[in-house]
Amino acid sequence: MRSGRETAGSPASALPSASPPHTPPPETMTLAPSVFRKAWEGDYVFLFEQLILKDFKIRYRNMSLGVMWSLLNPLVMMGVMTFIFGGVVGGQRSRAFPVFLLCGLVPYNFFTGAWIAGTNSIIDSASLVKRVPVPRQMFPVAGVLSNAVHLLIQLALLFVMAWGYGYRPGVPWLWLPVIWALYIVFACGLSLASSAINVFIRDTRYVVESFNLVLFWLVPIFYSFSIIPPKYADVYQFNPVAALVMAMRNIVLDGIPPPMSLIRNLALAASLTMAMGWVIFARLKSRFYEHI
């Protein structure tokens, strides 16, 4: 089409010399933006695995305790809280208070860690977002999933403790993968939304961090559902983090399946959050490049 040399005879104010002479007049010149190119078609599983491994290795590579840190945090929290609420404040100590606490701490830890990692994921991967046409959703989702690795370690700790206190797995334990899968979808949805917004409003991460602090008190970690007055029940009713804590205690401590209404609400929250996060992300992602 344009193989020969085209001369630049016009002054700088009118420089469309690269367009052929029959270029339509300016008012019809703008073409609705469109891009026809193959989408990134790599190996999603391989990439997820690599991103998660990378995250995991970076976090622990230079630590002498290595992966023990994943265990240390819940262990210390469990110890302190057992001391405070079981000894100093006293009063509500159940038979297996440490396991009771872990059932609250593990879901809470996972949620906060995953949400923060997800929120920062796009900004943290700025060099990749600007250079590699990988689907952008990969970053927040990988951020959440790499926290799922820590989750597995902490769950193992919880199960070992439960075993030590004489709790044995039963049929209700089959619900564990279901509630955790829904919970992870919920975290992914939230992270998609917050990571995209964080690109444009960098304060988002501090909002998330503050929210997580508040959440610690709004989730029955060191108290049980039974002490919550009915008029405040709504605060917990639609809180997926609280739902997971409750379900964990049902399954591990009481040996009963979680109430069907809880599963339904959790599934509803997970799918709605995911849909919302996906839409927000899809709407904003085309402008990441310019704002990062």
Partner 1 sequence: MRALCFDRVTKTFEHHARRMLLRDRIAGLLRGTRGQRFTALSDVSFELAQGECLGLIGPNGAGKSTLLSLATGLAMPDSGRIEVRGRVASLLELGAGFHPDLTGMENVHVNAALIGLTRRELEEKLEEIIEFSGVREFIHEPLRTYSQGMSLRLAFSVAVSCNPDVLLIDEVIGVGDEEFRARCLEKIRAFQRDGKTILLASHSLELLKMLCQRAMWLERGRVVEIGEPEEIVAAYQGTRSDSAHSSAKTDVPTKRSARV
Q: Which structure tokens are listed for 178?
A: 């279901």
CB nearer to partner 1: give 63 or 76. Answer: 63
| Residues 171-210 close enough to bind partner 1 by CB under 8 A | 197, 200-201, 203
Residue from 79, 130, 237, 261 touching partner 1 (CB under 8 A): that is 130
Cα(114)–Cα(190) distance, integer angstroms: 10
Would you count residue 227 as binding partner 1 (CB under 8 A)? no
The closest of 285, 239, 284, 288 to 266, measured between CA atoms, is 239
Would you count residue 149 as binding partner 1 (CB under 8 A)? no
Residue from 51, 144, 145, 157 touching partner 1 (CB under 8 A): that is 51
Which long-range contacts link 223-229 to residues 24+ away (Cβ below 8 Å)? 223/92, 224/92, 224/94, 224/100, 224/249, 227/92
The closest of 122, 124, 146 to 135, measured between CA atoms, is 122
CB of 206 to partner 1, least distance (A): 12
Would you count residue 289 as binding partner 1 (CB under 8 A)? yes
Would you count residue 237 as binding partner 1 (CB under 8 A)? no
| Cβ proximity of 291 and 130 under 8 Å | no
Stretch that binds partner 1, among 85-93, 112-120, 130-138, 223-231 (CB under 8 A): 130-138
Would you count residue 61 as binding partner 1 (CB under 8 A)? yes
Cα(254)–Cα(172) distance, integer angstroms: 10
Cα(125)–Cα(50) distance, integer angstroms: 14
Stretch that binds partner 1, among 89-97, 125-133, 162-170, 248-256 (CB under 8 A): 125-133
Would you count residue 19 as binding partner 1 (CB under 8 A)? yes
Torsion, CA 57, CA 61, CA 67, CA 69, rounded to 10? -120
Stretch that binds partner 1, among 22-30, 181-189, 209-217, 246-254 (CB under 8 A): 22-30
Would you count residue 10 as binding partner 1 (CB under 8 A)? yes
How far, CA to CA in Å, does 246 sit from each of 85, 254, 255?
A: 19, 10, 12
Residue from 68, 121, 133, 164 touching partner 1 (CB under 8 A): that is 133
Cα(14)–Cα(21) distance, integer angstroms: 13
- Amino acid identity, position 176: L
Stretch that binds partner 1, among 53-61, 150-158, 234-242, 267-275 (CB under 8 A): 53-61
Q: Is 239 helix (H, G, I), strand (E, B) or coil?
A: coil
Binding mask 26-45 for partner 1 (x = CB under 8 A): ---xxxxxxxxxx-xxxx-x
Please give the residue ranges that form the binding site for partner 1 (CB under 8 A). Answer: 1-12, 15-19, 23, 29-38, 40-43, 45-47, 49-51, 53-54, 57-58, 61-62, 125, 127-134, 197, 200-201, 203, 284, 286, 289-291
